[in-house]
Amino acid sequence: MQIRSVTITAVYCSAVPQIANGFASSATNVSYGGSAKYTCYDGFDFASGKSTEEIFCTDEGRWTLAPSCKGI
């Protein structure tokens, strides 16, 4: 029987992206599967109507598309 060694490399995303007219209100584990939640400043809202939006760190080490805050 031959034993093979396996190397596991963690995948990390860069710093959480900044957005215009809003901010990252929380971020957990900037590695693959981690997430960041955003909140808009007063007078701005997400197109979805939600009070927060969330992005995720992908297996390629990139964040999913950051949300946009629009004036209300």
Q: Find the CATH number of the domain harbouring 42.
A: 2.10.70.10
**Partner residues linked to 26 by β-bridges:** 37
What domain range includes position 53? 22-71
> What are the tokens at 14?
């860069």
DSSP 5: P
Residue 69: what residue type? C
Per-residue pLDDT of the chain (72 residues; tens, 9 = 90+): 788 888 888 899 999 999 999 999 988 878 999 999 999 999 999 999 999 999 999 999 999 999 999 998
Instruction: Quote the pLDDT of residue 8.
Output: 83
The answer to whether residue 12 is domain-embedded is no
Number of domains in the chain: 1
Report pTM: 0.83
